[in-house]
Every structure is written in C-alpha cells, then in structure tokens.
Amino acid sequence: MDEKILTRNIHKEGCETLAVYEQGGGYQALRKTLGGTAPADVIEAVKKSGLRGRGGAGFPTGLKWSFMPKEKNKPHYLLCNADESEPGTFKDRLLMERDPHLVIEGCLLGAYAMRADACYIYIRGEFVYPGKVMQRAVAEAYDKGYAGKNILGSGWDCDVVVHMGAGAYICGEETALMTSLEGERGWPRVKPPFPAQSGAWGMPTTINNVETLACVPFILERGPEWFAGIGPDERNTGPKLFCLSGHVKRPGVYEAAMGLPLMDLINDLGGGMLHDDRPLKACIPGGSSVPVLTAEQCNVNLDFDSLQTAGTGLGSAGCMVLDSSTCMVKALHRISHFYSHESCGQCTPCRQGTGWLASILARVESGAGRNEDVDLLVSIADNIEGNTICALGDAAAWPVQSFVKKFRPEFQAHVDAGACTILGVAESCT
C-alpha cells in the first residue's frame, strides 16, 4: 500500500482545521450518505468491507452495529473510545491531534448507521491537548451544520459531545467507560446485558475505537470492495496504524496495509535496531497485554489471524521492541506493576492477584527471589485468567504466562544468582 489513507492529512499545514479537511474532500462521505443512503445500507457496506475493531479485540464492526435494536423507541448512543491507555499505544492520539474532523466524520457516519441521537467522544484525561483540538473541531462542525439539528438538511439530529476522562486505564474497557460517562466510578459491568441492549444510561449503545471510526468515511467514499482489497485476506482488511516503540532507531506511528511483516516494521519503517551491536531479543506486538514473541517468532505478519496463530494478538497494535540488553524480569515487573495499579479492585482474583504478581516480581528482580517464585507467578496468572468481570485480569495474566514460558531460564537465573544475570551482578537491574 503506497498511498497514505488514515494519515493523508497529518503533515498538511492547518490539518486540524475544518477548512483544510474540506479542501481534501472531507465531509463528502457524510454529505453523500445523508443524501440518500439508508442506515441499514451503511451497516451492510461496513460489513462488506471486512473492517474489524482497532481497539483490541478485533470484533467485526458492521456485525457489532447490526446488534443495535431495529425498532427505535429509545435514544441510541454511539461512544467513541478515545481512552487510549494501553502501554505502547499512541495512534488514536495522532488522529485526534492531526485529523480531528476525520474522527468526527467517522463518528457521525457510525451514529447515522445506528440511528444514534448522540455520539460521546470519551478522551483519556491525560490527553489535554488532543482534547482541546477535538473540542475546537466539534465546535467548527456544529457551526457548519455537520453536527446538531437537521444535519446537512437531512432531518437527522445528532449531538457530538467531547467528554474528558480523569485518567484511568480501566475506563477504556467499554462498560467502565459507560459507567464513567454517567458520572459514576469507572467500574466494569457484568455482561450480559450487552451495551446494544442496555448501555449508557440504560439505552442501546455501541462503542468503537477512534481508528475504527476513522476508517468509515473511506469505506463509504471509495466503496467496501476497495477497503476489503487492502490486506492479506477478507478477515484482515484495510489500512492500519502501527505504533512502534522501544529499541529501534525511528519509533513512531506508521501506516501500512493490514498484514505488514513485523520485521519490515522494525527494519524498514523503524530504521532497524537502536544499537547495531544489540540484536532483537523479543517483541510485544499489540500493546503490553498480549503475549510476548521471542526474536525467532518475529517473522510474522501484523494482522489479526497471523498473530493469533503465532500465539499472540494484534491488540492495540502497540509494537514494543526489546533488544539483547533487556532484562525480561525487569520488563515484566514494570508491566505487572501497571496492571496492579490500574485494577479497579472489584474482583478478588484481579485485585489481589495483580498485586501479588507485582510484588513477587519485585522480589525476584531485587535478587531476593525464592525457589518456588517462578512457578508461583504462573500459578497466580493461571488463576486470574478467565475468572474476572472484565478482560483486565486476562491482560495482566498473559504477559506473565508468556514471559515465564519463553524466558524461564532468565527468571530462574535471577533466583539462583540472587541478581540480574543480563545486566550483571554489579549493575543490578533494580
């Protein structure tokens, strides 16, 4: 894919303004759709495009939209998930900062397809600047008649509301996001009921990621067949934003076709390993919650199914590259500390287990590890997985299971030597 799609505007001067967005053909997809496409046909087009959610789970977007009730006797809501807090992930921020109207047009098209009365854009609390850019852009959209009452003379009303979160990773989980939006503590809810039956304020609701919604104007403008033609097969389609961080020369957000080889992302787009004398040791391809890949496993394509076959996931496409100087105990300790800190505390396996994982890892890392600690880590992770209200529990368990499975000798060596064997005894990793 030579052409930039999602990032086509980001280097233009004034890219965050309505004028520049319109000059590039912006809001034409909305105009065309409201001018004569039925909401059900928009859903069909999105189904046909093969678009799958970019927020982590990869659920087919058109199918999700079709779960909204057909009859309209209550308000319907679309929530745009801009909480982006998964470690290693920073693509939604780029879209909001550099092409806010693309996000808004995607929101409006999704809202129209589901006959929503309002779209709430829930933005991570720390994203103060992207929040301001989005707020300015929403005001411009209202002024030009793209949002609010009788949009573009179509008779359809839809409000677009920017809502700033308070800075909690858990509020990116869809039911926690709804609870937080309602003004309560951001605690996940037990499903069912699913959001399409009873979501925000008890009304039919659908939640989509920023990048997912940003794909929609292109699907409607250029056709679902065009979108489905990008990527390796009909289950893995479209342009994709990859976030590259860690030990590479050029970290950043890169756009490529779904299915980009991971080694091309690292070596071509990312300029190769940061230090020429420190080879690749491991890579976490989809944000910190997905299982780690060893260097030998990195000859894989970055799409939903290839990564699943490799025993990991595309997740949020936050690709973190680790070189030979990385202490895997230290890296896992850092990850586990994050999940322990972000657990909302509602369910015991997650609340207690994530804390135990972090403190056992601290012990092993400091050189005070006990002989049974490595097995204990796996046992705790196994008991968290699948036993919690939301997937944060799984997100905390998967890195532990995969790090220990693939780098067990390094964990055992920490225990046996009472110190870090990667960085050396003198240069402890703590």
What residues make contact with ligand SF4 under the rule CB under 6 A? Answer: 170, 188, 343-347, 350-351, 388-390, 392-393
Handedness of CA 303, 170, 323, 250 (dihedral sign): positive
Q: CB 180 → ligand FMN: shortest distance, Å?
A: 12
- In the complex, the smallest distance separating the C-beta of residue 212 from ligand FMN, rounded to whole angstroms, is 3
DSSP state of 120: E
- Interacting partner of 68 out of ligand SF4, ligand FMN, none (Cβ under 5 to 8 A depending on kind): none
The letter for the amino acid at 322 is L
Shortest gap between Cβ of 351 and ligand SF4 (angstroms)? 5
Residue nearest to ligand SF4 (CB): 350
Which does residue 81 touch among ligand FMN, ligand SF4, none (CB within 5 to 8 A, set by kind)? ligand FMN
State the binding partner of 56 from ligand SF4, ligand FMN, none, CB within 5 to 8 A by kind.
ligand FMN
Q: Catalogue the E-assigned strands of 285-365.
A: 293-294, 301-302, 318-323
Residue 346 contact partner, candidates ligand FMN, ligand SF4, none, CB within 5 to 8 A by sort of partner? ligand SF4
C-beta of 134: minimal distance to ligand SF4 in Å? 26
Applying CB under 6 A, which residues contact ligand FMN? 53-57, 59, 64, 81, 83-86, 169-170, 172-174, 207-209, 212, 390-392, 395
Q: Whose Cβ is closer to ligand SF4: residue 242's or residue 338's?
A: 338
**Contacted entry of ligand FMN, ligand SF4, none for residue 330, CB cut-off 5 to 8 Å set by kind:** none
Residue 311 to residue 303: CA distance in whole angstroms: 12
Distance, CA of 329 to CA of 309 (rounded, Å): 26
The whole-angstrom separation of Cα 296 and Cα 300 is 10
Give me the residues paired with residue 194 across strands: none
Q: What sign has the CA pseudo-torsion 22, 138, 146, 114?
A: positive
Q: Give pairs for 377-384: CB < 8 Å, separation 24+.
A: 377/404, 377/411, 378/404, 378/405, 380/353, 380/356, 381/353, 381/357, 383/349, 383/353, 384/349, 384/350, 384/353, 384/354
Contact partner at residue 347 from ligand SF4, ligand FMN, none, CB < 5 to 8 Å by partner kind: ligand SF4
Spatial distance between the Cα atoms of 261 and 301, rounded to a whole number of angstroms: 4
Q: Which is nearer to ligand FMN, 99 or 173 (CB)?
A: 173
Distance, CA of 72 to CA of 115 (rounded, Å): 8
Q: Smallest gap, in angstroms, from Cβ of residue 291 to ligand FMN?
A: 16
Q: Pick between residue 19 and residue 63 the one whose CB is nearest to ligand FMN.
A: 63
Min. distance of Cβ 395 from ligand FMN in angstroms? 6
Q: Which does 131 bind (CB under 5 to 8 A by kind): ligand FMN, ligand SF4, none?
A: none
Q: Residue 393 binds which entry of ligand FMN, ligand SF4, none, with Cβ cut-offs from 5 to 8 Å by kind?
A: ligand SF4
C-beta of 105: minimal distance to ligand FMN in Å? 16
**Nearest CA to 412 among 369, 378, 379, 380?**
369
Q: Does residue 224 have a cis bond before it (omega within 30 degrees)? A: no
Count of CB atoms within 10 A of residue 418's CB? 14
Q: How far is the CB of 392 from ligand SF4 (least distance, A)?
A: 4
